[in-house]
Amino acid sequence: MAIGYLRIQARTAHDAVPLQGVQVTVLDDQGRSVYNLVTDESGETQTVPLETVSKDFSLQSSYTGTPYVGYDVFAQASGFNSVYISGVPVLEGETAIQPLDLVPMQDMQRSPTVTEIMIDKPAVAMQQARYQEGPEEEPRILRQVAIPNPITVHLGSPASSASNIQVSFPDYVKNVASSEIYPTWPEASLRANIYAIITFALNRVFTEWYRSQGYSFDITNSTAYDQAYVYGRTIYESISRIVDEIFNEYVRRQGQNAPYFTSFCNGTTATCGGMSQWGTVTLANQGLTPLQILRSYYPDDIEIAETNIVTGSLSSYPGTALRVGSRGLDVQTVQTYLNRIRRNYPAIPAITDEAGVFGSSTQAAVAKFQSIFNLASDGIVGKATWYKISKLYAAVTRLAELDSEGTTLGIGTVPPGTVLRQGARGQDVITLQYLLNVAAEYYPYIPSISQDGIFGSGTRQAVIAFQNLMGLSADGIVGTNTWRALYDVYLGAQENVPSPGPGNDVIEYVVRSGDTLWLLAQRYGTTVDAIKNLNGLTSNMLNIGQVLKIPAATGGAYFEYAVRSGDTLWLLSRRFGTTVDTIKNLNGLTSDRLDVGQILLIPRN
If asked whether residues 207 and 165 sit together in one domain, one would say: yes
Residue 97 belongs to a domain: yes
* Distance in angstroms (rounded) separating the CA atoms of residues 14 and 99: 11
Q: Which of 496, 530, 545 is the last residue of a domain?
A: 496
Structural domain range at position 422: 410-496
If asked whether residues 185 and 278 sit together in one domain, one would say: yes
If asked whether residues 222 and 292 sit together in one domain, one would say: yes
Residue type, 469: L
**24-38, 456-470, 488-502 — which is least confidently predicted?**
488-502
Query: At residue 193, does pLDDT exceed 70?
Result: yes
Report the CATH number that the domain containing residue 111 is assigned in CATH: 2.60.40.10
- Among 222, 136, 144, CA closest to 176: 222
If asked whether residues 104 and 156 sit together in one domain, one would say: no
If asked whether residues 487 and 567 sit together in one domain, one would say: no
Q: Which of 463, 496, 529 is the last residue of a domain?
A: 496
Residue 403 belongs to a domain: no
If asked whether residues 157 and 301 sit together in one domain, one would say: yes
Q: Report the mean per-residue pLDDT for the chain.
A: 90
Residue 426 belongs to a domain: yes
Residue 265 belongs to a domain: yes
Report the CATH number that the domain containing residue 572 is assigned in CATH: 3.10.350.10
How many CA atoms are closer than 13 Å to the CA of 18, on its beta-carbon side? 26
If asked whether residues 157 and 263 sit together in one domain, one would say: yes
Query: At residue 26, does pLDDT exceed 80?
Result: yes
Report the CATH number that the domain containing residue 438 is assigned in CATH: 1.10.101.10
If asked whether residues 292 and 167 sit together in one domain, one would say: yes
User: What was the pLDDT predicted at 537?
Assistant: 87
If asked whether residues 160 and 289 sit together in one domain, one would say: yes
pTM value?
A: 0.85
If asked whether residues 490 and 571 sit together in one domain, one would say: no
263-288 average pLDDT score: 92
CB neighbours of residue 289 within 10 Å: 13
Q: Which of 260, 276, 306 is the last residue of a domain?
A: 306
If asked whether residues 286 and 198 sit together in one domain, one would say: yes
User: What was the pLDDT predicted at 513?
Assistant: 72
The total number of structural domains in the chain stands at 4
CB neighbours of residue 538 within 10 Å: 6
Residue 400 belongs to a domain: no
268-272 average pLDDT score: 81
Residue 282 belongs to a domain: yes
Residue 319, Cβ density class (10 Å: 0-12 exposed, 13-18 middle, ≥19 buried): exposed
* Distance in angstroms (rounded) separating the CA atoms of residues 510 and 346: 15
Confidence at 108, pLDDT banded by 50, 70, 90: confident
Confidence at 507, pLDDT banded by 50, 70, 90: low
If asked whether residues 71 and 190 sit together in one domain, one would say: no
| Percent of the chain whose predicted confidence (pLDDT) is above 90 | 68
